[in-house]
Amino acid sequence: MWNRRYAIPLLTGWFLFMAAPRAQAQSLHVPPRQYLITVHYDLGMHCTGFDLSYCCILPPYNSILAQIVKTAGHPGELPVLLTEADLQERGWILWYEHENNTYSEGPKMLYWNVPVDVNGDGDLRDPNDSFANAYWSHLFTYEERPLRYMPYPTGKLTKRYLGRDLSIPQDHGPTGKPMSHGKLDYTGPDGTVLYTVTNDGMSETPLVLAMRSYWEALGLPLTAFYDGSIGNIREAREELLRPYQKAVVSLARWLDGNGDGIPQKSEVRIETDPRSREPVTFFGTNPIDVPGCDKCHASERANGKTYTLWKKEYLFWRNTFPNTTDYYASIKAASISLLEIHDRKHGTDFLAHYDPDNRTGASVTRLGRPPVRCQDCHADNIIGQLKSAKTAEGRPVSSLSAAIHLSHLRSVPDPDAHGRTASCQGCHPAHKQSGSLLEFPLGPSGHFKGGDIRNYRGGCFLGRDVHSNPAAKRVLGTRSHLNAIGRWLKDNVMADGRGLYCTNCHNLASRLLYKADTLKQVLTLEGRTLRNRSLEEILAAFRKMENGRYRDFSVEDFFDPKVTKTNARAVAAVWQDPPSDPYRVVDDGGDYWLAAGEPKCADCHEPPFVENMGGLYAPIDQVEKFSLMRYSKGHHGISCQSCHQSMHGMHPVAATGADPVTLEQARQLNPDGHVGPLRCGTCHVVDAEGVPTVFTPAMEAKFLKERFPTRYERAVAYAHTRRTHEELHGPGK
């Protein structure tokens, strides 16, 4: 249907094409859609259990993040990022849902149905009395300005605690968004903010959960099971896990028929794109998987002959309920194993009221107490718990990340054929969308199957991300622009065609690089940094840092650390390296995991293919340091993840790997069906070389042909430089 609102730009574009010489008109390509929505997650893969009745290391927390672009319609037009005001002017919203995944609790998850006395009144009948509400009750917002920075000047303010004052409804995230069938919120100039306290137990600090000027639905309790795949949670089978869930976002018109201010599916009509005549609907990957704890902890691999309660727990579920699968019974048994080992080694009393011989048929829990929330003792940046409990000597208990990784590296280093620890891929999610377990790296008894761990192409990173995709170089068709470290990894790790492994990024070198940075500008590396030095200079500097603590580390120890059956020193060093300010002062969780010390694109790549300057989202990132990729934008407000997808699953994902959804997403967004990253022609009118018509010779002249041999590469480099002053220099510079 003809729409007068679009008459001027469409007619202008038509006139320019008609006025241009025929050869030029034929060589220009207009984006096939007037509206484009990029959809992604912010962590690359979330890892959580689905039965949380005994204990929880990581709660369910998947997010949908999006940007919407009005693409160019003629050679002189620039694409525009649309804001909340743009959509409100037209009566539009961004409507989201998960394909074939609209609920979790009950058949697919035990979380809300696990009773916990949230307000401590001794009564479990209050509406909020569930583990789902208890988990987030340390976080708060201000009633006067919900989910934003506190008002200033402050005056008298009212704190509202999640789970206590603000109930989290079933199948909703902690900020109140439904798992499916809801509208995305616009974060505006603050981002989405919740508050926590620092490790003194009193001082308040903000946690920016979604970056500024973005569309989001945060913390959704997504599981890896499709709707209807299991009728009862005890029927769960590992082969039914589908880690790469599809989040669908549409541009829609909402008519609030009942006036309640809450969009209902019946009140929403998807808009039709005036250019393509198709629904304005796009999808992205929302990855969620279940860790492999059961492989070792529901077998003698972790328990040996010492710990035996897991066997009784397994048999209880298998023998009491006829429809209980081996997988579900193993999940329950693994939880008891974890708690028994912890009690024995650390003097806790998690199983003090557990009776393994009680056969009364409890359908939820036999623990005799509320489930164990690991963060009650261990600080954990992921959920904003910055304070640890104290040891008998008065020292903070180690952070949850450090405690788990170090204990497993000591117990099960599992070196592969090249000495890399197989435990990363064994413990973290390693399932495939097909349901096949053939490439899962651990056998039924929890032992590594052997060989090169990179050949087990399933899960969070391996056989998925561009850095582990053997075909990436051929598919990308552009240079990688590597610094000295990137070139070493290319020559010494990637040369065999199998790609990088987890420990090639999550290593000591990444932490030391960030500690050495005192930057003034990210695109020129102005300031103090090691990133533009030779490999020899970098190694020499590393060996002097931390009072010479790493003086005898080899180049492999820094960039490709290995383990043996008795020694995992180089791999463990990342968890033992002393934290730096400000985290050392305010956060017992250290400065890794949702903090500035995580790996960076800038660790291996040269500018302009690096993150923004930190400081915009303090304390999660720091001034004079690189920000995280999840908080970086590189092209007039377009985020890095909008074009590249989330870390661990960046375009182009392997065509024969574990993740077909991200592959389909890139083909959906790129007009030529390319597997990603997004090309200029997705949003711009481009010429036959794929270069935007607005890319002038003056813009091109800034980039040396020796570094960027094609016009397309020079255009891509230019796009990465078009950042705001704050993104280049940090706030207040």
pLDDT digits (tens, 9 = 90+) for 425-442: 999 888 999 999 999 999
Q: How far apart are CA 175 and CA 165, in angstroms?
A: 12
Residue 220 has, within 13 A of its CA and on its CB side, a CA count of 32
Q: ∠ at Cα 231 (225, 234), nearest 5°?
A: 80
Percent of the chain with pLDDT over 70: 96
Q: For the chain, what is the mean pLDDT?
A: 92
Instruction: For residue 25, give both structure tokens.
Output: 């008109």
Q: Name which residue leads in pLDDT, 239 or 470.
A: 239
376 close to 389: Cβ distance less than 8 angstroms? yes
CA distances from 203 to 164, 207, 444 (A): 20, 13, 47
Pairing of strands 281-289, 46-47: parallel
pTM of structure: 0.94
Q: Which residues 6+ apart lie within 8 Å of 583 measured at CB? A: 589, 590, 591, 595, 596, 597, 619
Q: Tell whether the torsion through CA atoms of 549, 405, 587 and 344 is positive or negative.
A: negative
Q: ∠ at Cα 48 (46, 51), nearest 5°?
A: 155
Q: How far apart are CA 555 and CA 546, in angstroms?
A: 17
Average pLDDT over residues 24-40: 88
Q: How far apart are CA 490 and CA 535, in angstroms?
A: 13
- The CB density around residue 530, as the number of other CB atoms within 10 Å, is 24
Average pLDDT over residues 22-31: 71
Q: Is 680 helix (H, G, I), strand (E, B) or coil?
A: helix
Given this model, what pLDDT does residue 733 score? 65
- Burial (CB < 10 A; 0-12, 13-18, 19+), residue 220, is buried
pLDDT digits (tens, 9 = 90+) for 475-511: 887 899 999 999 999 999 999 999 999 999 999 999 9
Given this model, what pLDDT does residue 415 score? 96
Q: Name which residue leads in pLDDT, 530 or 585.
A: 530
Predicted confidence band of residue 152 (pLDDT cuts 50, 70, 90) = confident
Average pLDDT over residues 317-342: 96
Given this model, what pLDDT does residue 603 score? 98
Given this model, what pLDDT does residue 621 score? 85
> H/E element holding 485?
helix 484-492
Q: How far apart are CA 323 and CA 362, in angstroms?
A: 15
Predicted confidence band of residue 473 (pLDDT cuts 50, 70, 90) = confident
Given this model, what pLDDT does residue 3 score? 35
Predicted confidence band of residue 192 (pLDDT cuts 50, 70, 90) = very high
Which amino acid makes up residue 416? D
Q: How far apart are CA 201 and CA 586, in angstroms?
A: 10
| Farthest-apart Cα atoms in the chain, separation | 86
Q: How far apart are CA 318 and CA 324, in angstroms?
A: 6
Pairing of strands 62-70, 215-220: antiparallel
Instruction: For residue 196, give both structure tokens.
Output: 């926590």
50 close to 57: Cβ distance less than 8 angstroms? no
Residue 4 confidence (pLDDT) above 90: no
Q: How far apart are CA 675 and CA 682, in angstroms?
A: 12
Q: Find, among 45, 246, 65, the residue nearest to 641 by Cα.
A: 65
Q: Is 109 helix (H, G, I), strand (E, B) or coil?
A: strand
For helices 326-346 and 309-320, the axis angle rounded to 10 degrees is 150
Helix ranges (DSSP H) in 241-374:
293-297, 300-303, 309-320, 326-346
Instruction: For residue 207, give both structure tokens.
Output: 């946690």
Q: ∠ at Cα 536 (530, 537), nearest 5°?
A: 35
Given this model, what pLDDT does residue 360 score? 77
387 close to 400: Cβ distance less than 8 angstroms? no
Residue 468 confidence (pLDDT) above 90: yes
169 close to 179: Cβ distance less than 8 angstroms? no
Task: Report phi then psi at 580, rounded to 5.
Answer: -115, 170
Helix ranges (DSSP H) in 549-686:
555-559, 569-576, 583-586, 640-644, 660-669
pLDDT digits (tens, 9 = 90+) for 576-595: 988 877 777 888 888 766 67
Given this model, what pLDDT does residue 660 score? 94
Q: Which residues 6+ apart lie within 8 Å of 518 measured at CB? A: 527, 528, 529, 624
Pairing of strands 92-98, 182-183: antiparallel
- The CB density around residue 211, as the number of other CB atoms within 10 Å, is 24
Q: Find, among 600, 611, 631, the residue nearest to 514 by Cα.
A: 600
